[in-house]
Structure 1
Amino acid sequence: MEKALANQLDRYIYKLQEASLKLKGTRSVGEIKTKHDNSAIATKSAVDFLAYCALIQFVRRNIGSLSQPSCVALVCVPSQWLLSDIEDAAKIIFNNAKQFKICLHPTSKHKRGWEIDADELLASDKLIIFARAGSMVHEDFELAATVRDRLSLCDARHIHALSGLRGCGALTDEQVEVIARQPSERMEAIFRRGQPAKRAAERLMDAHRKSIDRPAQHLDLSKGFGEAGVWAKELKRDIQEWREGKLPWPEVDKGCLLFGPPGTGKTRFASALAAECDLHLEAASISKWQSFKDGDLGDMLKAMYQAFGAAKENAPALLFIDEFDSIGDRSKFPSQHETYSTTVVNALLECLDGIGDREGVVVLGACNHPQKIDPALLRSGRLEKHVSFPLPDAAARSEILAFHLPSLSEEPALKEIGARLPGKSGADLERLAREARRIARRENRSVTIDDVRARIKVPAPLDAATLHRVAIHEAGHAIVAHALFIGKIERVEIYDNVHRFATVMDANGLTTVEISAREFTTRWDIIKMITMHLAGAAAEDLVLGHRSNWASGTRDSDLSQATTLAIKMVTEYGFGNSLYFLPGSVDIESAVTLWEDQPLRDEVTEILQEQYQRARDMLDGLRPTLLKLADALVKEKSLDAGQLELYWPGAPKRTNVLRQ
């Protein structure tokens, strides 16, 4: 068997040599060694053998062009293969053909330019350039290329031959197909001499089956995902029309950035989106790229290009990049890491621009802090669509629980439980379902709704004094918002955790204000918003003599929102004591940054203190209204817009109508 394969390949090479010699003189491809010991090549290296066979095919397809007096061949190498592997095989093929110059093209262009001398290389009469799929190519090589081709690495015939030469047994077509998709680094592990290759192939196939059978594929993207679900529906329709030839690819969204709190299901959404649109899913993350091999710049870029290359080869595909905010912003890199980080951002920009043709590839990034991302990455043509991915609402929480507990999906109490878990992320709900299943599994029975209830921490009922404090706090927000004409107060609620529970956010009360969107803002607009945010704490201070911690403690708290607005006033809008414009100069997510900037800290403190006192003074003048509204909230627990009209300053007094 081995001898027959070796003779067959030798005859193949001999025919190539014979054809080239017929072209005579300067039209010869040069000296190609014709009698290789193919068994020895395969025994030495599985990678060398497959690359060697692919190069033989390349020579056969392009023998006429390669025999010309001058030739520049630009050869694309699949992203899962290392260029150095191709170089070794090329040395075997072109043994002593010195007129052929071999070039391994760099995978990225540095700020200082290309790390190759194109003029020197193009001085050679015959040049073969191997470039990784998906990476940029030097402009001069693009202009000079007389041959453009792509190596057919891992051809089915070559894999069968390799398995035979290494004594690895026969393979089915399905096994060959899964092996062909693997990176070059895995070939030695698959084709262990004398060991059955089908064993490794079956393991790869099992892993692939598990990946395509993920539960997330069954998620209904039209429910519980808000704006992201709407975008998914539009993308599915556009991709279907593109497949049918009704829509050109430039009309399809090139990329999207999902941003929101941790644990909201952005990764699960990506998997479900790929399944819904029938796209190949290529999953990556910034940290995964950074940890590739030794983690140096070359390895980082290699992993990045491999991800984009794999997505292109499997197009139509969805390339999901998690932790996208880890890429950073070039304007904020510390000096000791600036060169490394800037090169990474530039390389990612090149990949997103799609100079090497990104048709059929949608890039989906996910992050928690979009403000930390270089703005150039988020412009049109790159990650142009920006979709908020918030914590799930009451309906979505119930749907997520039903998804993880399908046997209880029709249980009415599941909706009630989902509604009573405000602030819980998709990951939190998945853990709750897992813990409920564990309880049932230990007792060797099916999961019940009581198992779910057993894992829920029920909020303690509020006593009369605490409930009154909550009512004072929310009444303060509502009255100041109404007095400053901030917007329409739709509802004010408090929760006693007995008859009424929080469903929107994890809080003891909530004031909902509808604020009309505006194309511009003024200093007074922002001042009013800060005053409203601080009014709850000011109301407590005014009526009860001190405030509680309800106005602070989280990123969504009253004090957090007021502080963020004050920082933007000073650094972005020029509404502070200075007119300078320094957007993004302060990392709002890091309190340490603000604490270290003494002038900014002083100015922000001044703004907050002034508006806190403004809120307190306003409420002091409206104290009877504040107390009346708070008493009504304690009694009713919830007041809508119509009911609130009776409690605003200047509202007509209610009269009792006697019924007969």
Structure 2
Amino acid sequence: MESWLLPETEIVPSNRAGKLLAPWKADKHAVGTSMTIPVFMAFCGLAAALRPWNRLGSKFIVTVCLPDDFSEESYTRAAQVFLACFTNKRSDHSIVNVWGRKHSYRDQQEALDNDRSIFIKEPHMDLDGDAKLFADAVVNVSPRCRRHAEAALRRSGLPIVNEHVELLLSKPWPLLDKAFQDRRSPLLSFQRLKQLPRTAPPSCSETEAAGPTLAELHGFGAAADWGRDLAIDLTDYKAGKIKWEDVDPGVLLSGPPGTGKTMFAKALADTCMVPLVYGSPAAWQEAGSLDAHLKAIRKSFAEAKAVAPAILFIDEVDTIGSRDTRDNNQLYARAVITAFLELLDGFDRRAGVVVVAACNHPQQVDPAIRRAGRLDRHLPISPPDSAARLAILQHYGEVELDQAHVEMFGLASSGLSGADIKRITRDAKRSARRRREPLNSAHILEHLPTVVALPSDYVRAIAIHEAGHAVVAACMHFPVRDIRLSSHKVEGELTNTLGAVSYSHSAFTRRTRTFYLDQICTYLGGMAAETEVFGSFSDFCAGSHLADLNVVTHLATTLEGALGMGETLIVEDQSPGRLERLRDYNPELRRNTDALISASFDRAKKIIRENRAALDDIVTKLIEKRSMSGSDVCEILEWHNRPKVSLAKASRPGAS
């Protein structure tokens, strides 16, 4: 964010004759508060940003934008020191507030009633126009640097030792805040910092750069939303604004291998700016005997507690065992799970430690682990969709795909995880290096399954099929969300979805016989459109369990034989295979199902015939644009179905 300042004549305080203050020389007796080493480092960046207002008698309201690497506690205390240097009157009130907190209006009024005020903007927050106008200026604060660390050591009377400088620049701010306290000597603080255990997973090298935050990752959905809320709560907890009881104690993540559960935990820790401690049942079990196993579990929790607030990431928690085990290891498994539950239980026992557990099979996790107060929140992480896969590629490859290649990447990467895309990006970078070329779209696509362009006649046939679904759905008053068409296909892949129509049914729709009949008719709309245009339909209407005729057959059988909405009120079990056996051994049910499907097919063909002109229009636009919204489809249908009472030629929807 660039600094947003008033004109030069307005930002400099009017009292130019005033004596320049030197607050960095002030001690705790002069400013009413002490400056520990981390507070002084924060103060160095803050004082540099506020230099134009550093004169006696100056009056101002300034917003300071903190760097990504920050501590609200240290910067707030530094701002209080800066304001306290303007006066020795204890009755004067130093106004330091944080944008985005509650009572924002009250804070602004309080600032207007005082001569000087500093508002703090955290990196994750965006300032609106009102906030910019309220402040005299919005300025950026530089992140901590070696010069700040060396100045802090000199002020404390300590020699400038590289090891101490590196600790001040590398350790997270929350650790520095806890290590350096008024009652503790700086040397003791450095000693305790050096004794901290490593908090990174074993797979991370010590020289690995800081990873992405949740704002830079894509495809995590509800888990990312929860993580962003947790970051705000932990910030408030560290500032003493909320109690630990108000912070989520943990979460259970589940998903197939490679969906990025470990990456999520690292990004969560970076977003919350807290240490990440790694543990897993496999690593704990490697300790050896039962006693050593239990000590390893306790050690992981103790490490997280020592650097709290922190995140304890437990991988493959579904392998820890269950108290229901009935084998020769029953007593061993029960002792392990009991010890784990004791450490997991309660707020007081692990205050400051958020447990993030990951697993592939959540149904195998002991129910006691998911009890309220433990890991009662479960967030599945699914494989990334097309948009998320593209964002993951841009993150790892730092390359923008050509527009012509975006569709091909979406098709070729279907079903791939974030880890798969990372590997593909790594291979593409290697190929680019070997050829001494900058990384581009061609290198990426080279390491994906081959994508071939479809013949234009084939694309038109798919467009007709999908447009048929959309037309019938709209006539059935089913809300069409969008319609999509692909012009490419993965070579050798039989399960590619080359076109699709999505709907947005309300969860509260009454599903009567009429509703099911309309739904069956909609599923048959693609076949009906093909039949009306070509005289027959193709084989991709059947075969897969998700194909139109397969779905229709299941729905019609369910309607006639399992829901009491057919010839009788008798219902049958809908367990897998049951309906198929009913059709095989009940000729009457088979005839009724066939008659229902045939009648619905005739109904769908009638709708297509009545809306043939609209169908052709939708097909033309779909081939041209590759996607259409439901409102576009409805607009075309309404234009073709409205009464033609004027001799003047009306313009068609979408026409220029």
Name the structure 1 match of 2:244: 249
Contact 1:461–1:496 at 8 Å: present in 2 too?
A: yes
Partner in structure 1 of residue 506 of structure 2 = 516
The 2-side partners of 1:365 and 1:254 are apart by 11
Say which of 586, 602, 607 aligns to 1:622: 607
Q: Is 1:177 matched with 2:214?
A: no
Relative distance call for 1:248 and 1:415 in structure 2 (3 A) is farther
**Cα distance in 2 between the residues matched to 1:459 and 1:425:** 19
* Partner Cα separation in structure 1 for residue 286 and residue 193 of structure 2: 27
Q: Give a deviation string over 1:360-419, Cα, whole Å, max 9, x none.
A: 22222345565665666445433333445344455543432232224x469888877766
Alpha-carbon separation, structure 2, partners of 1:566 and 1:357: 57
2:480 corresponds in structure 1 to 489
Partner of 2:373: 381
Matches for 1:373-452 after TM superposition, within 5 Å? 377-378=369-370, 380-406=372-398, 408=399, 423=414, 424-444=416-436, 446-452=438-444
Q: Deviations over 1:99-125 (max 9, x none)?
A: xxxxxxxxxxxxxxxxxxxxxxxxxxx
Which of 231, 240, 252 lines up with 2:226 in the alignment? 231
Find 1:647's aligned residue among 626, 637, 647.
Answer: 637
Q: CA–CA distance in 1 between the matches of 2:541 and 2:258?
A: 24
**Following the alignment from structure 1 to structure 2, what is the Cα–Cα distance between the partners of residues 553 and 489?**
23
Of the three residues 342, 349, 354, the one matched with 2:346 is: 354
Q: Which amino acid aligns with 1:315?
A: A
Matches of 2:218 and 2:500 in 1, distance apart? 25
Report if the CA contact (8 A) 1:479-1:648 is conserved: no
Residue 649 to residue 515, structure 1, CA distance change in 2 (3 Å) = farther
**Structure 1 unaligned blocks of 5 or more:** 1-171, 183-203, 499-504, 587-593
Counterpart of 2:109? none
Deviation at 1:224, TM superposition (A): 5.2
Which residue is 1:268 aligned to? Answer: 263
The alpha-carbon distance between structure 1 residues 437 and 357, as it changes in their structure 2 partners (threshold 3 A), is same
| 2-structure distance, mates of 1:324, 1:626 | 56
Moved more, 614-623 or 598-607: 598-607
Distance of 1:478 and 1:643 partners within structure 2: 11
- 1:31 corresponds to which residue? none
Matched to 2:215, the amino acid is: D
Task: Specify which of 413, 431, 455 is matched with residue 463 of structure 1.
Answer: 455
SS of the residue aligned with 2:501?
strand
AA aligned to 1:240 is T
What's 2:79 paired with? none
- What residue number does 1:279 align with? 274
What one-letter code is carried by the residue in structure 2 that aligns with 1:319? L
Work out the CA distance in 1 between the residues paired with 2:322 and 2:470: 39
User: Mapping of 1:571-582 within 5 angstroms?
Assistant: none
Query: In the aligned structure 2, how far is the partner of 1:249 from the partner of 1:581?
Result: 49
In structure 2, the partner of 1:131 is: none
Question: Residue 468 of structure 1 contacts residue 631 of structure 1 at CA under 8 Å; is this kept in 2?
Answer: no
Distance 1:232 1:468, change over 3 A: same
- Residue 139 of structure 1 corresponds to none
> Take 2:369 and 2:267, find their aligned partners in 1: how far apart are those partners?
24
SS in 2 for 1:241: helix
The DSSP-based 3-state class of the residue aligned with 2:487 is coil
Match runs of 1:141-156 below 5 Å: none
Deviations 1:505-543 (A, max 9, x none): 96211213233344x875769957974885467558966
Query: Within 1, Cα distance between the matches of 2:380 and 2:559?
Result: 24
Q: Show the counterpart of 1:318.
A: 311
State the superposition RMSD in angstroms.
5.6
Listed one character per residue, the Cα deviations across residues 306-333 of structure 1 (whole Å, up to 9, x for unaligned) are 5445434443222333445667999xx8
> Per-residue deviation at 1:242?
0.8
Look up the equivalent residue of 2:268 and give its one-letter code.
L
Which moves more between the two structures, 411-420 or 446-455? 411-420
8 Å Cα contact 1:477/1:511 also seen in 2:
yes
Residues 175/365 of structure 1: CA separation in 2 closer, same or farther (3 Å cut): closer
Say whether 1:364 aligns with 2:356. Answer: yes
- Aligned-residue sequence identity (percent) comes to 29
Q: Distance in 1 between matches of 2:557 and 2:278?
A: 37
Aligned-pair distance for 1:470? 2.1
In structure 2, relative to structure 1, the CA distance for the partners of 1:612 and 1:448 (3 Å cut) is same
Q: Which amino acid is 1:492 matched to?
A: I
Residues 67-216 of structure 1: matches in 2 within 5 Å? 177=195, 181=197, 210=205, 213=208, 216=211
Q: Would the aligned equivalents of 1:311 and 1:318 in 2 still touch at CA under 8 Å?
A: yes
AA aligned to 1:357 is R
Q: Distance in 1 between matches of 2:367 and 2:565?
A: 24
**Equivalent-residue separation in structure 1 for 2:550 and 2:280 (angstroms):** 30
User: Which residue is 2:617 aligned to?
Assistant: 632
Q: 1:656 to 1:265 in 2, by over 3 A?
A: farther
CA, structure 1 residues 255+221, in 2 after alignment: closer, same or farther (shift >3 Å)?
farther
**Which residues in structure 2 correspond to 1:17-28 (within 5 Å)?**
none
Shift in CA distance, 363/564, structure 1 to aligned 2, threshold 3 Å: farther
Q: 5+ residue gaps in structure 2? A: 1-189, 490-494, 652-656
Distance 1:493 1:403, change over 3 A: closer
CA gap 1:414/1:274 in 2 versus in 1, 3 angstroms:
farther
Whether the 8 Å CA contact 1:493–1:510 is kept in 2: the answer is yes
Letter in 2 for 1:490: R
